[in-house]
Structure 1
Amino acid sequence: MDEVINYTRLTTSDKLPDRFLTCQVYNPVDPEQAKLGMIFSHVEILNPWFPTSQIGQTVINTLIREYYAGDDTSELVNFENAIKKVNEALAQIAQNGDTDWIGKFSSVLVLISGKEAHFAQTGHSHAYLYRGGKINHITEGLEQEEAPHPLKTFSNLTSGTLEEGDKIIVANTSFYEILEPSELKTIISSLHPTEAALECARILQSRGNQNANAIIFELTTKEELANLTPEQKIETIYIDQSGLSFNATMRNIWRNFFIPSGKLIKNTFQALIKDIKKYLVPAIRHGLKVLKRGLQSAFGATAKITKKEAEKLSQRISQKVSPIKEIKDKKQVKTLFYKIKNKIRRFLIGVGLYSTQKSKMYLVALIAVILVLAAAITFSIIKRSQAKSNHALETKLNQAVSMEGEAAIANSKGQESDALNKYKTVLTLTAALQGTKYEKDAKPISERAAAKIDEITKTTHLKPINNVDLGQGQAILTLTSDKLTATYYSGEIKQKKPQDPNLLKLAQSKIAGDKAVSSAFVPEYNLIAYVLKDNTIQTFNLETKQTNTEEVKINYPGQVYSFAGNLYILDPPSNQIWKILSEGGKYKNNSPYLKDADANISDVISMTIDGSIYTLAPSGNISRFSRGSKLGDFKVSLPGEEQISGWEIISTSASSDNLYLGAIDNNKARIFELKKNGTYIRQFSLDNSEGVKSILVDPDRNIAYIAKNNQLLTYQF
């Protein structure tokens, strides 16, 4: 297929404060989609940009997504079905309570597939065809007098077959108010889309109209398109930018300077020649005749002539010569020329480039011309690069706007997973706009998306109630009743309550803090049990401040937990949990807890006890055990099917109705609250937790602690 579409968008680089206005072109990169044609979209909503921007972009994205996903063999049928989906999306938006756009919405949606063109129109925007010097109003009769029901926003379609050389313009009312279709006839018919757009932009700029918006495209051949210069194939022209393009700039200079200057020089020269012919030549001829007669008379009368007579003859000749008219304008031009010449010479002398040798001056002039051309070309390249960059950024913004609209629709239909993924995509797109000219526009979109994510996931953001310096050499943290206890490598022990601004020294113990792997508080005996690397257990009595090395020899130095005075040690390599019975606060023997041969805890990273034992695997799988037997398991099911890869701890107590899971996700700490049957309740995002190393949760007091970079942050939830 040799036919191709050559197009140019005429739009603004910045958002308009009083309306959403855009024209976009979707030219598929995917070969399969490319066979289905191109989509041209023009949308105008006469409401402030936000939130109507998401409505307009939702229309465009829905059309593109649904059309290329169509499974019918007819492009027209797929286009019609896609338009129905657009109407349904608009109806859903209205059903959600957003109705301010109704009656203020104008759009033309176009599909070009080969030579076949299909149009859907609503509102006051229109499309015109220019063919063989004639104008055809394509969308005539499609406009509805009253605002339609959202489900019938696009209710009328029209189709036709294009011919090579056909040119189409799609534009809004503001455009046609300045440039009527009949006035556009010469511009559109005689110029390529880029040149026509440049000419339209020049006219719109001269009349101060920046609310116009249009797409101009033509059906041409690959060969003809290949013969066009890059300056004749610009995809986007911005009305609100002063420099349209290098060619346009040179064309304006030619029209506004060289042509008028050339006419002035031509007229001046013609006037000079005319005056010379009219006054100077006849005067010279007449003077010569008089002089000849005078000489003949003088020589014929006498060979002797007195001085006095000679003077009389001279006077007679002078009287016969007609005075030559003074050409004041020509003298002024000459004077001006010399002034300019002298100024240039003084400038060249000032910069050290002047020379009396003409060859050097010619060289200087040549270099100056080259530098001017290089600067102009560089400026043009920079402008085009900026335009491409702005277009890419604008596309990201439009995608974010559209995705926000699609997410809102999905959320209203109860499709939480889809909505959540779309809102996260919005955050990704808006994050890419930070530090650009679109950052201000992207910020409210990002904030709304983040708020919706929190709403869907039932997330509360927590700020730390205090931040305490842990100091150097910190070894292990333990929750001890209403306090947090820190044990250091040196054996020093410090404590703090949640509201305390500092850690206070409790004692200098004999605990081998540098060998401690884990610890657990045993409230029945008011002591802390420490598991050491050498498979021994030390205990520290918080009341007597005495350290004791227990008799028991454990099988594995794993995480230790306490319940009813007994200790439980997690041993994933042996697929076992070891139970150490207390004998009056002394620990002598351990025994295997798990009796179920099918139980698998080889990948468990944390556990908690409330009478039953709950284990947590990295996958988020939770298993429950009672008296050594497995009762069942379940996987953490988060809103929107969100997946967490950084599970850290699970915590509960006999007096708590819920489970609390801690996770480090994207380098930040989060806490998830679930019922003990696995039902999701809510979650907390801990601010300022970047770089977190460990998390502790007190389920009875709703307190969370995180350690990072020798700092201890406390949170109340």
Structure 2
Amino acid sequence: MVDFKVISTKPKYAVRIGKVLSKSPAASGFSTALVYRPDLPEEQKHGSIYFVIDIGSASPLAPDIAYNLIDIIKEEYYRDLALGPAQSFEAALKAANEEFAAIAKEGEKDWIGKTNVTIAVLSGDKLMAVHRGTNELHLWRNGKMMHLSADMYVPGETPRPEETLSNIIEGDLMVGDKIIASTAELLYYFSIDKIKRIIENYPPAEAARELASQLEKDGDVSKTNVIIAEFTVPEMITEDEGIPEDNWIGTTSSDYGRKFAPSHQDNGGNYWGGKTDAEASPTKSEPPADLAASIDAKTNDMAQEIEFTDDDPVAMVSPRRSPLGRLSFPKINVDYNQLGHNLTQITNKARLATKSPQFKKTGNVLMRYLKYAWLVVVAVVDLIFTTTSYWVDQIKKQKNGNRILLISVAVLAVVLVFSTITLANNNTAKISKKTAMDSLDSAIQNRDAAKAALIYEDKAKASELLASAYALAEAATKHDATKILQDIGTQLDEISLVKRYANPRILVDFNTLANQLETSGTKTGAKVTINNFFAVGDDIYSYDTEYNKVYKYNYSKNEAGIINSLVSNEKKIKLASAADNSIVVYTTPPSVYALELADNRMSAANLDTGIWNNAVDLIAYTSKLYFLDPDNNQIWKYQRTADGYTKIAPFFEDNSTISLAGATDFAIDGDMYLLANGVVNKYTLGQKVSFQLQGTPEHTGILGNIKDIYASLDTNGLFVLDADNSRVIAFTKDGNYRKQYVFS
């Protein structure tokens, strides 16, 4: 239960209503929004009821279930007016839940978990509401939006039928509050901030029209139904606000409104919503005649107030302009008396012109002002021209006047060009910022729409919306979009199964074993060199190609140590791979050893020497050994037997059609994956098949240079190491993206 307590300001109230309705023939289920106001005064004191219902079931009984619910709530709420509104509301909800249980008992259960209901009662200054499912219920108060239905929906919830209407919201209202009840689809198209701006700038009816207008442009609206109710006082309500207008989105079928009308015809007219335009739209009335007369009278009074009266007109005299002459510099003699005389003369001409009979004959007040404004403009232009001419005349009279005048013009031209460039740059910056702000606004809207899509468990739609939101937010990063970008990125990570590890702890540092290398007879200043590592059970193993050492990290003891050494002056460890309870070690010159983990004993393996002298990778998979040999364009394999291994055999029966040039790594999980020149190819039963790594989320960046790949019977796909982006990405066996781990 959500409770918000505000002191009531007035005992008498009224409610303004705005409604948006939509229904696409292609959409399954049933959705509507209705307002019920009783006619009887004693019932009116009990309050009015508001319904927003969205049943996502394709059952043909969905409309009947919805309107049956409406009828039961209405009948039970007004049945016993001796009860208080809260008691009546609880009785109505109890009756509705019993009806839901009866419907389920009869075998009609497809609606369970798909019924989204918001029912609100406004009685006096009290709000009582019940909420179930994905619908949205918000309260606007003093410039802030309160999400009343927050945390009331759990994706995948399937409540017991007798508990369908159990999430109660109660609170006190104050004059000016606005309640917005809607289906969740509204947030596909509008962010909460945008809805807030619309209801702040418009009364409910106009806000509903604005929402409908913008939704109409989208063209893909199916089940967006909205009720906007403003809690106010009767003095604020005009006569034409009695019946709310149904703002239908798209082309509405007349059958839709008539087929599913409430069953009780005696009060059918009190239901506002869910009907066609012809049934719901009120007839517009003409303005009263006395109002028009009042407007005319006020217009005449205004005309009389500003009427100009004065003496005879004065002839318009052209201003005197001095003849152009030569100027001397540097001394400039300015005749301020002449300038003042010119200014006074022009001002007087404009003032006297307004007193002329021709000007008075202009009956229209607006035209008089326009003429007056025109005369003022002419006077100002004339003044500027006269003053400029006077200054030019004075300059040219001075010594080197023409040169000074030319320099002055050049300076003015430079200033003009510089000013124009500055204004253009400022304007470009403003346009850029406006574009960025528009992008940010769209990003916020798409982000909120993605949240709504997740409520509907539509991950594909949510991912599409978030990817668009991320791109838009990136375009606005220079204008305070960093926070929203991070928010969208977090949501994208959740949908795309991206796990990020910032500053991951070091599990083991084999460099701590360097001092043991020195004591074992190696040169001073020894440094551990790790070429690869692998896990066997909970322990981690690695090998040192420089010192012929095999290292082990015991996870349970949190200890690292040297478990064996290949004692040889001729052979060097090159590769190793984990097998069952052992590690297979490959050396140069080519030899193979087996390190038994039970006693850390190393012994040479009895293998056919073959021609894998230059193997670049080794895998022990089930009972086989595989050697990647690019030089011979082949992968060699051995089968383990009781006495050792079988003779060497090629993996590719015909390697003339393939190329292993540039191959550096391979992996096996039943199929063979080969990494060559940064590209992963797949082979099944020795034959190359179509394969491509795809679907990596855009916001995490394109796939970089792959350094390593891994697969096994347990991975159910392929893991790749994208070192350029410090991440490991998991793909399915078909190459489709699954998830990723990012390190920073």
Shared fold, TM over 0.5: no
* TM-score bracket relative to the smaller structure: 0.3 to 0.5
Q: Give the TM-score normalised by the residue count of structure 1.
A: 0.39
Q: Give the TM-score normalised by the residue count of structure 2.
A: 0.38
